[in-house]
Amino acid sequence: MLTVRDALNRAYNLLGVGVVAISSLAFFSDLPSEIDQLSHIVDEVLLGVLALVAFVWYLIGRNKYTRTVIPIVFAVVALAIKVLGLVLEIKDPEDRGDEYGALVLFVVLIIVLVWQYIAARRLAAQTQGTEQVPQAAQAD
């Protein structure tokens, strides 16, 4: 049976892994236009590898139901990869343009994941407290 805490953790973990994976697919579409310069494809390839690792992590065992900071770590690594991409493409204005949107995306994702990580504990505690009251009332 899926508890409220498990459902909250699953949603939080799926949010982090899902955004990293979907953004990887979106940025991977830049690969054909940058294939002529090896330094310009490094960030897309690394982000693809990160997305694969994140997806496999989510599917293994009970990881999707655990309360963990791993989705935040995935988002921070994704941000670091796109900063690396910006550094590698700094001299090419056409190629570095897509990096700014990614930086905003991953900064916002980190903020949302940290907020969700903190709020999920509070919400699970409130839900657990309200579930115990009816059970106590039924015992009387």
CB 27 within 8 A of CB 49: no
Cα distances (angstroms) measured from residue 32 to each of 17, 37, 40, 97, 139: 25, 10, 11, 16, 66
CB 28 within 8 A of CB 44: yes
pLDDT at 3: 86
Planar angle of CA 38, 74, 41, nearest 5 degrees: 10
Residue ranges covered by each domain of the chain: 4-132
Query: What pTM, to 2 d.p., does this model score?
Result: 0.84
Quick: pLDDT tens for 29-65: 877 877 888 888 888 899 999 999 999 999 999 999 9
